[in-house]
Structure 1
Amino acid sequence: MTDEAGFDEEGSALLSRLRVIEDQPLETRAEHLAQVYEELRSVLESGDSRTSA
């Protein structure tokens, strides 16, 4: 299901998570954004391996 902005539940959860991260001090923000980056990279890379098989 999508919301009025066109995001599904995962996208809305990600936006909420990013908003919380953006309100944190710079050092903490950098650490948490790096975690989000790694999680997204992992998801994208696993998607690539599924479609190329």
Structure 2
Amino acid sequence: MTQEGESQSAGADELVSRLELIQERPLAERANAYRAIHDELSRVLEGGDREVSSR
């Protein structure tokens, strides 16, 4: 596996761990935690688009 592939795999593992921890929380806390992950992933994806388009 390449270094990039290992990094993506580690990121996916971290995300799964975070989601599992969220599932153990009460409903109201889960909603806020999922919203935070959504916002974080949106920023990452939108930032990736900007990097590609600036080349």
- Indicate the TM-score class for this superposition, using the shorter chain for normalisation: 0.7 to 0.9
Q: Per-residue displacement from partner, 1:23-50 (whole Å, max 9, x unpaired)?
A: 1100000000000000000000000000
Q: Match of 2:9?
A: 8
Give the TM-score, by structure 1 length: 0.86
Give the aligned residue type for 1:44: L
Q: Match of 1:42?
A: 43
Percentage of identical aligned residues = 35
Which ranges of structure 2 fall in alignment gaps of 5 or more residues? Answer: 1-5
Give the aligned residue type for 2:44: V
RMSD: 1.4
Structure 1 runs, 4 residues or longer, greater than 3 Å off: none
Higher helix share: 2
Give the TM-score, by structure 2 length: 0.83
